[in-house]
Structure 1
Amino acid sequence: MSAHDVVPVSLAEIARIAGVGRAAVSNWRRRHDSFPTRIGGTDVSPQFSLAEVEKWLRDNGKLKDIGGRELLWPRFEALGSRNESGLAIAEAARRMRSPKARVTRPELSAQARDLVTEAARVGREEGPRETFEFLLQRWLETHVRQLSTTPPQLATLMARIALAVRLGPARDELTLLDPACGTGHLAAAVAEEWDTPGLEVLACERDPAPAALTAGRFEFLAEDRDIRTRITTADSLRDDPFRGTKADIALCNPPFNERDWGYEELATDQRWTHGLPPRTEPELAWVQHLLSHLKPGGAAVVVLPPAVASRKAGRRIRGSLLRTGALRAVVSLPPGSAQPHSVSLQLWILRAAPDSPAAAPPSQDALLVDATRFARSGTREPTPDWDGLGSFVLTAMATLDRVDQEPPENAVRVPLLDLLDDEVDVTPGRYTAATAEPSQEELAGRWDEFGALLTGLADHAQRLSALGFEAGTPQTTATVGDLVKAGALTLRAGQQPPEPVAPAHAAVVPFLTVADLLHDGTPSAVVAAGSATAVAEEGDVVVAGVTRAFRAWVHEGPPTALGPQLYLLRVDTEKLEAHFLAGCLCAPANGRQAGTHASSSSRVDIRRLQVLQLPLEKQAVYAEMFRRLRVFEESLTVAGRSGRGLVSEMSDRLAAGGLTV
């Protein structure tokens, strides 16, 4: 890197480089006059020179156990372009393995080429594969809004399903196809699961940077495995690079909601054996693309949004997939299984007809599996219980072709006649709704859970009721507008995105509206990440600025785009505590005072909302009480729902007779 080039780093990046928390870096900055001066950014988010920070950390003994990888990443990020930084990481991986190789990508800048050389040196010193995986992970984390990746746990589950479902004689070799491979998570999962030599990977990605990173990943995997790869950069639907090639299994997590997928130019394509996919059903184009590449008895597993199972426009193709036995199973996943995390996505399990009628399964009934109950409760964002989810789904898949074996609870084998109606809806929850009465043991367990809820409520009530308040003591407040002017927080207003549907291959984020808050608080749509004016990150305060839905809370989920009348407040953590701010803002009297009209449909002037002026350490005390109050409120809701469920179940049991007491 040239001497005149300055790489900026934030306080958070300095903390990561030094292996400490951000608060420690803030303390260093306050206590040490020698700490590097700010070179950019703002008072809230200052930036410093990486070279000066590295020197200060070394001089002060703060880099004893930190390797060169952490110092590499800010320089990759400073390249500015997602595409160039990804290509540079892929090129560095190649140079780590072949030190004398020349840079083969002319599109890389001189700065990127120098960085490739430096990264290759660090990789050879600290471990090529480990350094590449580190840089790849940081690249994915940095560009999470622009990239849609498959979590490793889901990739492993998909690989195991495909290997278990495919028919035909056992073979020493396996051919895998992934026509929208991204950075290769699905293919890597197959490589981990297939422990027999002889794996051929056919992968395609139209974005050159992820394609190059997939190639780099498999160069390392092939060092100690018999793996052959053909990884290309192309649009699989428009320009299929593997036309005529057949695979044993296919895995895919295709882009969602594409309208410009090639409807006009592909109208007569031979892949559409189940019908031309409507313009609004690109996912059904991917389904048929996968089927066209399967060997007889080969299996495919594809991630799809839940609407594909029921949309009216796709019912004819769904009917054909069922009648021919190509669609064998549908699994509803819990929220958080993949992007967008707020949506309960589905796995469609497809299988090509075997080449011999004798090898066909005895039943063509479809297996529908509702695994949404494996959402882990009590977490900040939707997170599946991966162990329970994987065990349940694989147990259900084991019954797919076994007419003598009943699927587990919440999975059902549905006859084709019941599915081939006017709707051809294959949503699992429509057929797996529990109808059996709970057992005595299950009822006892639910009463125990309800008792624990009541105990928790009593604890919170005792703590909250003990709070004392000074009467008549004047309190100093400031408005949100004043805090914005003082730099204590930044304010962004949500808007309706210009495009209601995400453009081709764009990364998407959940889109939250006031209507969603009035329903159940779950985002009902997704939008392209780049089209949103306000995207709430973890730790931001979100305010609903309309009287009928007025509330404020600290966002604890995945990045979420905000719609009209929703506002994002990002605090300076050295001046404001987020939970303290949210607690002050959401006071009902505060909202009434800042309302613009008296009706329930009036807007709330966010800048007029009042916040107590307290020192940071005292804010923390108030924040803890605000948090406890919110937990108390949530526990009341859960207890009410649980209690009503128990009343319903106990009423059914009592009405059925058999009382023993």
Structure 2
Amino acid sequence: MSSPDVVPVTLAEIARIAGVGRAAVSNWRRRHDSFPTRIGGTDVSPQFSLAEVEQWLRDNGKLKDVGRKELLWPRFEVLGSRNESGLAVAEAARRMRSPRARTSDPELSAQARDLVAQAARLGREEGPRETFEFLLQRWLETHVRQLSTTPPPLAALMIRIALTVRLGPKDGGLTFIDPACGTGHLAAAAVQEYDGTGLELLACERDKALAALASARLGFVAENRDIRTRIAVTDALREDPFAGTQADIAVCNPPFNERDWGYEELATDQRWTHGLPPRTEPELAWVQHLLAHLKPGGAAVVVLPPAVASRKAGRRIRGSLLRTGALRAVVSLPPGSAQPHSVSLQVWILRAAADSPTAAPPSQDALLVDATHFARPGTREPSPDWDALSSFVLTALATLDDPDKEPPEGAVRVPLLDLLDDEVDVTPGRYTASMSEPSPKELAARWGEFRSLLTDLADQTRQLSVLEVEAGTQPAMTTLGDLVKAGALTLRAGQQPPEAAAPTRGATVPLLTVADLLHDGRPGQVVSIDSTHAIAEEGDVVVAGVIRAFRAWVHQGPPMAVGPQLYVLRVDSEKLDAHFLAGCLRAPANGRQAGTHASSSSRVDIRRLQVLQLSLEKQEAYAETFRRLSAFETLLTMADGLGKGLAGDMNDRLAAGGLTT
């Protein structure tokens, strides 16, 4: 797969090709005089010739099977143009599925056509779908700042919502439409979530490269299924390719804040049954476009920026959507659910009136759901707890058409009379905040729980305060690394978790990550049990090897996998007490001493962590005290959280004039 042109690669790309970390590549470069010389870049980010790197890796036995795809991707990158590389990936997918087909796109250069042929051959050897998904993911990562995609978990949730909310027969086929499909995440989710037959996918995308990639993706996901697909390359608002077509579900993640959406030329369009969208409200044009394509009882689900729920310019259209019963629910998502990740986006759920003499009149309320509390802080940007978020939203929507069912806490039915005021603001947080206040009985129970916590805390304080802890002579110490060498314990490092949407197979265990520790300390996902994961069993010591989350504890409960920067220590019970070891390791000074540098994001070299050298008999006394100290810290944390919550609730009530004298 060599090319006459020089293809530059970075240290990170070489690491991917070899299936190792970047530090390993840096070590190779320092230790081996034969390592390829730099051809470009900077001292901090050097670039090397791909052909020379490939040859060096082969000569030194460092090229693994994973490298074949990784060797291919840099050649797509040097095509330069986002459109040409995207079209080349899509064309390669078509050739993988149809080996006898010829490259027909006239926009592809000779270099791109040669690359398409190489990718098609590799795909047929290593799996067409897997190779295409790899190339597509690399393409999306490379152009992430120019594209806005729908994360697979959000796409799956939107499809489930649409299938749940729509009325009418559930068999006999389903028509799906997405007028701004991008690379086809929502259409692919529809194929995955719909378990019936006779699925028709209609999609539109004005960007030719995105449309080609969507077509390639759907070609794979719809393979061997009773599915009809049509993707039109045009602007759906200006030139609707499916005018007059009605769908069972319409789902969309449209472009945001586009002023040039066709306001002048579409002023008299028949789709604007709820009013002409103002120039500054293109999102409401997409909402009405979706409604225009719904069958009676059909459902539409659309992702929108939060400002659409309250902007003054859209007040009249929002009022009409509510009065006619078209807008049935609004869900506020946590930050990090989709681009832009810093914004709490909303999902609007709409439904066309049912065409039946016995159909119910327009609803007199709307369901508003605040799911923002399902955010999970990450190392760089927040990401939702998708399993809990999806369960909560679907549980709330199950009450949509049943007035006898109460929505869960965080969701509320709001009468139209309360919504149709001067603002017509449908932001869920505005209405759910007042509904989440505890009742007087609940408040009294929480005060009782707080008093009980303080009693336990006082008891622990008495026990710990009488201990004689003095500064004596410097005790004998050893390091964790030396204990591993001596066979007193085994150490396993956690692994990178899989993609959120990756399916799990076979037996599963919870997966704990550093982000989970920073959030609430509970595992946020599950993974299949295999030899690559470090599994903590009851009695093992778990250590977080990063300064901002540094801690060590003895794991209790069922088995649990750990992610990067977390470590599992399994002690030899004849040499070490697990609680003694955890207590020594989690000393703050110990973590600071073993830290790589002073910043909060720095790594802790856990092999440098120090442990007292004591006999097993003497370890027991320390272990019991460490247990008490750990229980004391737990009680402090619980009391702090409960006390602050009580203070906040009391403050809200007092500020609202709730004091009785």
Q: Given residue 342 of structure 1, which amino acid in structure 2 is its aligned partner?
A: S
Q: Given residue 11 of structure 1, which amino acid in structure 2 is its aligned partner?
A: L
The residue number in structure 2 matching 1:551 is: none
Q: 1:447 to 1:356 in 2, by over 3 A?
A: farther
The normalised TM-score by structure 2 is 0.70
Does the CA-based 8 Å contact 1:329-1:348 persist in structure 2?
yes
Q: 1:442 to 1:90 in 2, by over 3 A?
A: farther
Query: Deviation digits for residues 62-95 of structure 1, max 9, x if unmatched?
Result: 1133252111111111111111111001000010
Query: Deviation digits for residues 210-231 of structure 1, max 9, x if unmatched?
Result: 1101100111122221110011
Alignment partners' CA distance in 1, 2:548 and 2:279: 36
The normalised TM-score by structure 1 is 0.70
Alignment partners' CA distance in 2, 1:79 and 1:227: 34
> Residue 650 of structure 1: CA displacement?
6.2
Aligned to 1:162, the other structure's residue is in SS state helix
Q: Within 5 A, what are the aligned runs for 1:137-152?
A: 137-152=137-152
The residue number in structure 2 matching 1:7 is: 7
Alignment partners' CA distance in 2, 1:449 and 1:202: 59
Aligned to 1:56, the other structure's residue is in SS state helix
Alignment partners' CA distance in 2, 1:144 and 1:299: 30
Does the CA-based 8 Å contact 2:548-2:601 persist in structure 1?
no
Higher mean alpha-carbon deviation, 432-441 vs 363-372, is at 432-441
The residue number in structure 2 matching 1:345 is: 345
Alignment partners' CA distance in 2, 1:453 and 1:273: 64
The residue number in structure 1 matching 2:251 is: 251
Q: 1:362 to 1:276 in 2, by over 3 A?
A: closer
Gaps of 5+ in 2: 461-470, 472-546, 550-592, 605-635
Does the CA-based 8 Å contact 2:419-2:425 persist in structure 1?
yes
Higher mean alpha-carbon deviation, 136-145 vs 648-657, is at 648-657
Does the CA-based 8 Å contact 1:162-1:249 persist in structure 2?
yes
Q: 1:57 to 1:447 in 2, by over 3 A?
A: farther
The residue number in structure 2 matching 1:436 is: 438
The residue number in structure 2 matching 1:268 is: 268
Alignment partners' CA distance in 2, 1:450 and 1:8: 63
Query: Deviation digits for residues 587-620 of structure 1, max 9, x if unmatched?
Result: xxxxxxxxxxxxxxxxxxxxxxxxxxxxxx9992
The residue number in structure 2 matching 1:85 is: 85
Aligned to 1:417, the other structure's residue is in SS state helix
Sequence identity of aligned pairs in percent? 77
- Alignment size in residue pairs: 494
Gaps of 5+ in 1: 456-465, 467-553, 557-616, 629-635
| Pairwise CA RMSD | 3.3
1:232 aligns with 2:208: no
Query: Deviation digits for residues 371-402 of structure 1, max 9, x if unmatched?
Result: 11111246542111111110110011011110
Q: Given residue 207 of structure 1, which amino acid in structure 2 is its aligned partner?
A: D
Does the CA-based 8 Å contact 1:367-1:412 persist in structure 2?
yes
Query: Deviation digits for residues 358-380 of structure 1, max 9, x if unmatched?
Result: 13367331111111111124654
> Residue 405 of structure 1: CA displacement?
1.1
1:334 aligns with 2:334: yes
The residue number in structure 2 matching 1:124 is: 124
1:206 aligns with 2:206: yes
Q: 1:171 to 1:5 in 2, by over 3 A?
A: same
Q: 1:207 to 1:399 in 2, by over 3 A?
A: same
Does the CA-based 8 Å contact 1:362-1:403 persist in structure 2?
no
The residue number in structure 1 matching 2:193 is: 193
Alignment partners' CA distance in 1, 2:117 and 2:309: 49
Aligned to 1:83, the other structure's residue is in SS state helix
Q: Within 5 A, what are the aligned runs for 1:294-443?
A: 294-360=294-360, 363-377=363-377, 380-433=380-433, 434-437=436-439, 438=442
Q: 1:216 to 1:34 in 2, by over 3 A?
A: same
Q: Within 5 A, what are the aligned runs for 1:446-461?
A: none
Does the CA-based 8 Å contact 2:324-2:362 persist in structure 1?
no
Paired residue for 2:598, among 610, 622, 638? 622
Query: Deviation digits for residues 533-584 of structure 1, max 9, x if unmatched?
Result: xxxxxxxxxxxxxxxxxxxxx999xxxxxxxxxxxxxxxxxxxxxxxxxxxx
> Residue 445 of structure 1: CA displacement?
7.7
Does the CA-based 8 Å contact 1:284-1:314 persist in structure 2?
yes
The residue number in structure 2 matching 1:543 is: none
Q: 1:453 to 1:44 in 2, by over 3 A?
A: farther
Alignment partners' CA distance in 2, 1:106 and 1:619: 57
Q: Given residue 235 of structure 2, which amino acid in structure 1 is its aligned partner?
A: D
Q: 1:306 to 1:62 in 2, by over 3 A?
A: same
Q: 1:385 to 1:379 in 2, by over 3 A?
A: farther
Q: 1:374 to 1:2 in 2, by over 3 A?
A: closer
Aligned to 1:622, the other structure's residue is in SS state coil
Q: 1:264 to 1:638 in 2, by over 3 A?
A: farther
Alignment partners' CA distance in 1, 2:259 and 2:245: 27
Alignment partners' CA distance in 2, 1:453 and 1:339: 44
Q: 1:626 to 1:120 in 2, by over 3 A?
A: closer
Aligned to 2:358, the other structure's residue is in SS state helix
1:102 aligns with 2:78: no
Question: Which structure's CA Rg is the greater one?
Answer: 2
Aligned to 2:162, the other structure's residue is in SS state helix
Higher mean alpha-carbon deviation, 350-359 vs 129-138, is at 350-359
Does the CA-based 8 Å contact 1:252-1:301 persist in structure 2?
yes
Alignment partners' CA distance in 2, 1:452 and 1:314: 55
Does the CA-based 8 Å contact 1:450-1:642 persist in structure 2?
no
Alignment partners' CA distance in 2, 1:8 and 1:450: 63
Higher mean alpha-carbon deviation, 618-627 vs 345-354, is at 618-627
Does the CA-based 8 Å contact 2:453-2:639 persist in structure 1?
no
The residue number in structure 1 matching 2:285 is: 285
Higher RCO (C-alpha under 8 Å, 6+ residues apart): 1
Alignment partners' CA distance in 2, 1:194 and 1:445: 46
Does the CA-based 8 Å contact 1:361-1:401 persist in structure 2?
no
Alignment partners' CA distance in 2, 1:109 and 1:447: 75
Alignment partners' CA distance in 1, 2:154 and 2:453: 30
Higher mean alpha-carbon deviation, 442-451 vs 325-334, is at 442-451
Does the CA-based 8 Å contact 1:395-1:408 persist in structure 2?
yes
Alignment partners' CA distance in 2, 1:453 and 1:337: 39
Query: Deviation digits for residues 504-528 of structure 1, max 9, x if unmatched?
Result: xxxxxxxxxxxxxxxxxxxxxxxxx
Alignment partners' CA distance in 1, 2:184 and 2:651: 52
Q: 1:221 to 1:7 in 2, by over 3 A?
A: same
Q: Given residue 143 of structure 1, which amino acid in structure 2 is its aligned partner?
A: H
Q: 1:129 to 1:401 in 2, by over 3 A?
A: same
Q: Given residue 384 of structure 1, which amino acid in structure 2 is its aligned partner?
A: P
The residue number in structure 1 matching 2:47 is: 47
Does the CA-based 8 Å contact 1:254-1:303 persist in structure 2?
yes
Q: Given residue 17 of structure 1, which amino acid in structure 2 is its aligned partner?
A: I
> Residue 354 of structure 1: CA displacement?
0.8
Q: Given residue 294 of structure 1, which amino acid in structure 2 is its aligned partner?
A: L
Does the CA-based 8 Å contact 1:328-1:364 persist in structure 2?
no
Q: Within 5 A, what are the aligned runs for 1:56-71?
A: 56-71=56-71
Aligned to 1:432, the other structure's residue is in SS state helix
> Residue 451 of structure 1: CA displacement?
12
> Residue 325 of structure 1: CA displacement?
0.6
Aligned to 2:249, the other structure's residue is in SS state strand
Q: 1:373 to 1:9 in 2, by over 3 A?
A: same
Aligned to 1:164, the other structure's residue is in SS state helix
Alignment partners' CA distance in 2, 1:214 and 1:639: 52
The residue number in structure 2 matching 1:531 is: none
Q: Given residue 416 of structure 1, which amino acid in structure 2 is its aligned partner?
A: L
Q: 1:642 to 1:126 in 2, by over 3 A?
A: same
Alignment partners' CA distance in 1, 2:6 and 2:156: 41
Aligned to 1:270, the other structure's residue is in SS state coil
Does the CA-based 8 Å contact 2:333-2:344 persist in structure 1?
yes
Higher mean alpha-carbon deviation, 637-646 vs 287-296, is at 637-646
Q: 1:378 to 1:128 in 2, by over 3 A?
A: closer
Does the CA-based 8 Å contact 1:363-1:403 persist in structure 2?
no
Aligned to 1:366, the other structure's residue is in SS state strand
Aligned to 1:359, the other structure's residue is in SS state coil
> Residue 415 of structure 1: CA displacement?
1.0
